[in-house]
Structure 1
Amino acid sequence: MKKGRFSKTEISFITENHETLSYQEIALKLNRDAYSVENFIKSKLGESIEDKKRIQALYDLKNRPYWEDLKGQFNEHELEMLLYHWGRIIGQFRDDVLPTEELQVLDAIKLEVLMNRALKNQQTNMEDIDTYEEQITEEKGRPIEYQDRDYIFNLERQIAVARAAQEALGRDYKDLQVKKSAMLKDLKATREQRIKRLEDSKQTFISWVSNLMTNPDIRQEIGTEMEKMRLSINKEKERLSEWHQYEDKLVDQPFLTPDTVKDE
């Protein structure tokens, strides 16, 4: 059984057949472990429509010209969080994202990442303060003649600086939170706005049409139902156009039109 990375030929085969063949069938044909095939499909191709849209969104972002700039602005962990939020938010909006909205989404995610960074810095700062205070307590626990007053003074000064930084980080976090909330409102991505949009769509026919045009999920659902209905009508029309024997032994076509009439 082969190990290691999938070759281009194997990736092409999996991509073309993962919707029709099972993990085990693909693994058997490629002489690969079924688990590795399953993991590749879930992480690289996606199983559901939502997964595929999310993965495609990640691929699109990494191919944007500004991806290299993002790599320079954030560390590896922050980039992972940025990609995670990007995939989910773009997946939420589906295909209804204009270039300007794309930049808004990216800015909103940046604010989220910066908020997390501020919270981490706050936590690190608090740990530093606790460490300094423990060192001061330890030093003051020694006999007075052996205490290093300069050392204690230096620690107290560092605590004061850390507390000032803590307050600044708190203000930064609140400012970022306000900006992110405003940006999400501009994108109409908050739960309150989504519910309001649905409620407003019930008021008038024009509002309903507007909601239909801006909501790809509803368009997809209605379009699917209409197509099912069309296929059902055609199938039933075909069935009722055939000869049918009634209970009184009379044979006739239930659905008789110039297009369906049959020669006796």
Structure 2
Amino acid sequence: MTSKKPPRKRGQLGLEEQEFIRNHVGILSTEEIAEALNRTAKPVMRYIAESKIGIKSKDEEETDKTLRRKLHAKTFWVEIEKQFDKSTGELQYFEDTWIGLVKQFREDVLPAEELQIKQFITIDILINRSMKERKRHIADTEKLQEEVDREYKLPEDLRDGPKLANLETQLSFARNSIANYTNEYTKLLNEQQKISKDLKATREQRIKRIEDGKSSWIGLIRMLEDEEIREKEGREMEIMNMSVEQQIKKLSEYHEYQDGEVDTPLLTPETVQDKKDD
């Protein structure tokens, strides 16, 4: 008698599954990866496509490496390494999610926003942990319920009373754990949504401040209160100033026109004085 295959798993890919896919793309086929994970090929293919695994351009790879190095240089990275384990895939998940979000924001992220992103990813990992534990307790509940049902199917005089009481205690504990993890998931999700909302609001305020700066003098002053914007504008002004000086120098030099006349295209007190000196 052949054993019946377990049904294919459904739902979002877990951290361990994502890591398995990343480690085996190019080694195993999509179908083989799906078979190993007891999944259909569709979610595996979707994850590979969305994550662009194995199909990144050289520029994208260099960008990711640079962002990863910058992340590792952050003051909070030491704590992140203590909080999340590399073997579980959580550390890799943090790095990949961080890089994805920073790229989504076009690498224009202020220190305060970095902390918000850090909190967002941390909560995301805690949500994953909670859901994994919830899933484990659901499986335990099903097994315990089967044992309880088997015991109750026996004649009353053949039932193992102490064993049955113990099973029912474990079953009650497992059910309570499921409820607790569900509540924890809800709380974490609400907190994550709040951070996401705050992060969005912060960035929208920055954009609005920049837009206001284009339309009014007061708005411009407020915009320049942002140190990063002030430095950026300063660099652009310096580049423009250097360009103007180069053009002035070029136009102040003698130029031969089509009619054969030689003169300077730009007349300034300095060029006139130079002519007199000549």
Instruction: Tell me the TM-score range normalised by the shorter chain.
Output: 0.5 to 0.7
Name the counterpart of 1:176.
188
What is the SS of the residue equivalent to 1:226? Answer: helix
* Per-residue deviation, 1:168: 1.0
Q: Deviations over 1:61-115 (max 9, x none)?
A: 4775x56xx62x54333344445556677886868427xx877665555433322
In structure 2, what residue type is equivalent to 1:75?
A: D
**Match for residue 60 of structure 1?**
74
> What residue is the counterpart of 1:97 in the other structure?
111
Letter in 2 for 1:195: E
Which ranges of structure 2 fall in alignment gaps of 5 or more residues?
1-57
1:199 aligns with 2:208: yes
Match in the other structure for 1:47? 62
Q: In 2, Cα distance between the equivalents of 1:88 and 1:240? A: 48
Whole-angstrom distance in 2 between the partners of 1:85 and 1:214: 27
SS at 1:60 equivalent: coil
Against the structure 1 CA distance between its residues 198 and 59, is the aligned structure 2 distance closer, same or farther, given a 3 Å change threshold? closer
Residue matched to 1:112: 124
1:58–1:88 Cα change, 3 Å? farther
Would you say the 8 A contact 1:245–1:252 is kept in 2? Answer: yes
Deviates more, 1:89-98 or 1:154-163: 89-98
How far apart are residue 121 of structure 1 and its match?
1.1
Identity %: 27
Question: Cα distance 1:128–1:208, how it changes in 2: closer, same or farther (>3 A)?
Answer: farther
Gaps of 5+ in 1: 1-40
Q: Find the counterpart in structure 1 of residue 250 from structure 2.
A: 239
- Relative to structure 1, the CA distance from residue 87 to residue 212 in structure 2 (aligned partners, 3 Å threshold; closer, same or farther) is farther
RMSD: 4.3
Aligned pair count reads 210
Q: Structure 2 residue aligned with 1:161, among 158, 173, 187?
A: 173
Q: Is the 8 A contact 1:115 1:176 kept in 2?
A: yes
2: CA distance between counterparts of 1:121 and 1:90?
30
State how far apart, in whole Å, the 2-side matches of 1:134 and 1:251 are.
Answer: 102
Question: Which stretch of the first structure deviates more once superposed, 237-246 or 104-113?
Answer: 104-113
Aligned residue type for 2:262: V
Kindly tell me: are residues 237 and 51 of structure 1, through their superposed partners in 2, closer, same or farther at Cα, counting changes over 3 Å? farther
Structure 2: distance between partners of 1:243 and 1:194: 51
Q: Which amino acid aligns with 2:181?
A: L
Residue 165 of structure 1, CA deviation: 0.9
So what's the TM-score if we normalise by structure 1?
0.57
TM-score (norm: length of structure 2): 0.55
Paired residue for 1:4? none
Tell me the amino acid that sits aligned with residue 256 of structure 1. Answer: L
Contact 2:141–2:174 at 8 Å: present in 1 too?
A: yes
Would the aligned equivalents of 1:58 and 1:83 in 2 still touch at CA under 8 Å?
no
Residue in 1 that maps onto 2:24:
none
Distance in 2 between the 1:170 and 1:255 partners?
Answer: 76
- Name the SS for the 1:170 alignment partner: helix
Give the drift of 1:172. 1.6
Give how far 1:232 is off: 2.6
Aligned residue in 1 for 2:143: 131
Alignment deviations for residues 183-214 of structure 1 (CA, whole Å, 9 cap, x no partner): 555xx42x244224423543454344434443
Higher mean C-alpha displacement, 200-209 vs 230-239: 200-209
Q: Matched residue of 1:114: which SS?
A: helix
The 5 Å alignment of 1:64-83 reads 71=82, 73-76=83-86, 77=88, 78-82=90-94
The 1:90–1:159 alpha-carbon spacing in structure 2 relative to 1, beyond 3 Å, is same
